Each structure stands twice: as structure tokens, then as C-alpha cells.
């Protein structure tokens, strides 16, 4: 779609980007983006990175990508969860690590992760988090501060606790395996919490990973722990 003037970003997303930059002035921005590149347009012509809505003849871009840079305090998965926790009415949807969560007033339960299919022409969003805002000028151009600082700190604290858990795989045993098995049981897996990471436990892990859009390998690392504990 051609616009008479150069497209511009939604003001709400400029506000969000500026707040994140203030939180982490030296963060990596290599995977940041608003306006789609030509290659992105060809692969995803209906993306919110396209200026598909207009304001007085100027195209407005209603999506932003924020790079993953844990070394400088911006873990994209933690930021995604901080935005979900904020439940900001401006959010249309968030994509992170093969998962998508919608805001309110749409076809899916709000703020709940669901798998994001990643065919060959789709990005798994593991190098950045994608945030889209709703196509309502009162929302997409709202410059109200985003309530992310406290939520981001909470998300990072939760992620640190999860990261401290051991990586579990077939053959392991002990109290951590019992906890894993109980979490899997809470999700409907027919397991006995015997403390042994056996073949049945591995199968249950793989089924859970597939259902949550995670990499299916039967190994319980950070993202599997997070998904188990967030939705149990």
C-alpha cells in the first residue's frame, strides 16, 4: 500500500522503546525494528510492521521488535512476560520464543501463551520480542507510560529462580524430578511421582513441549520449567 508521505511509528511504541532504552542505555539493538524491510514485506505482507492503517494520509506502523540482550538487562522473554503482566489495553499481541499471547477483545483468551507456528517463512522470535498495538488511534498513539519496570524486575527475578533449577533429562533422579513429575501431572500426564526420569517421564515432557510450542527434545531446561510453572 502506497502512502503520500513517509510512514511513521505509532507513538505508543516510541514511548515503549524510549522507556526500554532508559532502562538499558547500552542494550544491543541489532534485532530492533518497526517498519518492515522489503524482504519482510515479501514474506509477511500482512504483518503489523507494514503501515496498514493511516492517519491523515500517513501510514502508521503498529509493531515493534525489541532485541534480546540479557547481558544488558533486557531478556526478551522476560520483557514479554512483563508486558503480559501489565495487561495494557493498547496491546494487540506479543510474540516471543515460538509463543503468542493476545490482548483483550480478540479471538483468544487474553494474556495466555499459545504456540506460534513457525513455518519456513516465519520468525521464531528468539532474538527479539514482537509487540503489536491495536489499530485504534486513541490506543496506538497514546503516550501514557508503560508499566514495565516493576514487572520486568519481577519477571527477571522469576527467570533467575527458574534458571537456577537443574537441567533434567532421562536417567536423572531425585527431588527435582519429583517436582517435575508433579508439574507434569498437573497438566494431565498419567505419571507416578517416583523421582526417576524414566521413559514415561521423557514422553510426558515431549508431549508438553509440543503442546506449548517449545523445542521438543525431552530435556527440561529453562523454557520448559517456565512453561510448566507458569501454567500449572
Give the domain-ending residue among 117, 134, 161.
161
Residues 6+ apart with CB under 8 A from 213: 98, 99, 113, 114, 115, 116, 117
The whole-number pLDDT of residue 71 equals 83
| Same domain, residue pair 143 and 186 | no
Domain that holds residue 19: 5-161
Q: Which residues pair with 8 in a beta bridge?
A: 60
Burial of 12 (0-12, 13-18, 19+ CB in 10 A): buried
Q: What SS3 class is residue 29? A: coil
Same domain, 121 and 180: no
From 161, 179, 197, the end of a domain falls on 161
Residue 4 is predicted with a pLDDT of 54
pTM beyond 0.85: the answer is no
Q: Give, for all 232 residues of the chain, the pLDDT tens digit.
A: 455 568 899 999 999 999 999 988 999 999 999 987 777 777 777 889 988 888 777 899 999 999 999 888 888 998 998 899 899 999 999 999 889 999 999 999 999 999 887 765 567 788 999 999 999 999 999 999 999 887 777 666 666 666 678 899 999 999 999 999 999 999 999 998 999 999 999 999 999 988 887 889 999 988 898 888 876 5
Number of separate domains in the chain: 2
Q: What strands lie across the sheet with 91-96, from one edge to the other? A: 63-67, 128-133, 91-96, 99-102, 114-115
Question: Are residue 135 and residue 35 in the same domain, yes or no?
Answer: yes
Report the alpha-carbon distance of residue 61 to residue 151 in Å, rounded: 26
Q: What confidence score (pLDDT) does residue 108 get?
A: 93
Q: Are residues 97 and 178 in the same domain?
A: no
Beta bridge mates, 94: 101, 131
Residue with grid cell 505508543, as numbered in its chain: 12
Amino acid at each position: 500500500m502506497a502512502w503520500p508521505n513517509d510512514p511513521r511509528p505509532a507513538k505508543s511504541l516510541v514511548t515503549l522503546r524510549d522507556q526500554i532504552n532508559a532502562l538499558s542505555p547500552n542494550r544491543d539493538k541489532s534485532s530492533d525494528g518497526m517498519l518492515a524491510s522489503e524482504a519482510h514485506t515479501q514474506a509477511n505482507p500482512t504483518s503489523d510492521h507494514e503501515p496498514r492503517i493511516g492517519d491523515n494520509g500517513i501510514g502508521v506502523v503498529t509493531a515493534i521488535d525489541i532485541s534480546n540482550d540479557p547481558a544488558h538487562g533486557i531478556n526478551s522473554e522476560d520483557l514479554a512476560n512483563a508486558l503480559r503482566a501489565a495487561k495494557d489495553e493498547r496491546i494487540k499481541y506479543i510474540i516471543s520464543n515460538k509463543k503468542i499471547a493476545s490482548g483483550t477483545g480478540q479471538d483468544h483468551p487474553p494474556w495466555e501463551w499459545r504456540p506460534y507456528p513457525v513455518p519456513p517463512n516465519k520468525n521464531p522470535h528468539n532474538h527479539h520480542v514482537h509487540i503489536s498495538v491495536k489499530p485504534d488511534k486513541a490506543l496506538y498513539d497514546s503516550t501514557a507510560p508503560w508499566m514495565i519496570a516493576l514487572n520486568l524486575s519481577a519477571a527477571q527475578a522469576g527467570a533467575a529462580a527458574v534458571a537456577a533449577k537443574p537441567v533434567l533429562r532421562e536417567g536423572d533422579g531425585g527431588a527435582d524430578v519429583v517436582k517435575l513429575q508433579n508439574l507434569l501431572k498437573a497438566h494431565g500426564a498419567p505419571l507416578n511421582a517416583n523421582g526417576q526420569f524414566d521413559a514415561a517421564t521423557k514422553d510426558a515432557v515431549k508431549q508438553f513441549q509440543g503442546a506449548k510450542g517449545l523445542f521438543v527434545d525431552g530435556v527440561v531446561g529453562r523454557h520448559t520449567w517456565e512453561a510448566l510453572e507458569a501454567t500449572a
